[in-house]
């Protein structure tokens, strides 16, 4: 797909990122929803990212796409519990923590280009959502996939990861390689958070 066939990703400061997205109740024609999902998938891959919410392309509907096919090094994968997440669409999602465990790692956002920051999130969540055919679904996620689910669902509620970031951890992409260890211990010591 050519780059000119894609839409831009809305950046932090645009009001669509700060509104709760409207619940999807069939506002699109039958042929428009799959076309939107495919466009979102292409934009996400091109960025590249592991998730994209409709508000990030200026559409205030409660729809997001998720997929993590990246292969991190084995140590990072183990520490961050990063396992592959096959492509899927979530519509009108809601998540709930499964226990009191949390994990804190660096994450970034396609709508806040150029920065990474540490966010503490639930380690395991239950996600209730509708799939693209309107069928109610419920799935549980742990580790990195749970982080992606929370990040994208937050977008649909007008929350951007910088609202939850440990501000002293914020790092430009140019400086992030300094702190790209599997865990955040070195960054915590070096940046004082």
Return the pLDDT at 186.
97
Burial readout 11-39 (b: 16 or more C-beta within 10 A, e: otherwise): eeeeebbeeebbebeeeeeeeebeebbeb
Q: Residue 133 pairs with which residues in a beta bridge? A: none
pLDDT beneath 70: ranges in the chain: 1-4
Active-site residue identified among 81, 86, 107, 152: 152
Side by side, which strands form the sheet with 85-97? 51-53, 63-68, 85-97, 124-130, 136-142
Query: Are 64 and 24 in contact, with CB atoms under 8 Å apart?
Result: no
Q: Is 186 a catalytic residue?
A: no
Backbone angles phi, psi at 69, to 5 degrees: -105, 5
Return the pLDDT at 72.
86
Return the pLDDT at 1.
45
**C-alpha distances in Å from residue 166, one per residue of 108, 109, 135, 173, 185:** 13, 15, 37, 16, 14
Return the pLDDT at 2.
54
């Amino acid at each position: 797909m050519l780059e000119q066939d894609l839409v831009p990703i809305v950046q932090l400061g645009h009001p669509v990122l700060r509104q709760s997205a409207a619940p999807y109740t069939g506002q699109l024609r039958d042929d428009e929803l799959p076309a939107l999902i495919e466009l979102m998938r292409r934009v996400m891959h091109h960025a590249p990212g592991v998730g994209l919410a409709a508000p990030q392309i200026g559409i205030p509907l409660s729809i997001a796409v998720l997929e993590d096919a990246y292969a991190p090094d084995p140590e990072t994968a183990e520490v961050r519990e990063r396992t592959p997440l096959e492509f899927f669409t979530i519509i009108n999602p809601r998540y709930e923590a499964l226990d009191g465990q949390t994990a804190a790692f660096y994450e970034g956002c396609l709508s806040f280009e150029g920065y990474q920051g540490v966010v503490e999130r639930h380690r395991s969540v239950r996600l209730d959502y509708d799939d693209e055919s309107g069928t109610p679904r419920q799935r549980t996620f742990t580790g990195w996939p749970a982080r992606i689910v929370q990040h994208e669902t937050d977008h649909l509620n007008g929350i951007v990861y910088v609202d939850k970031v440990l501000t002293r951890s914020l790092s430009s992409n140019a400086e992030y390689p300094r702190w790209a260890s599997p865990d955040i211990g070195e960054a915590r010591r070096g940046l004082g958070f």
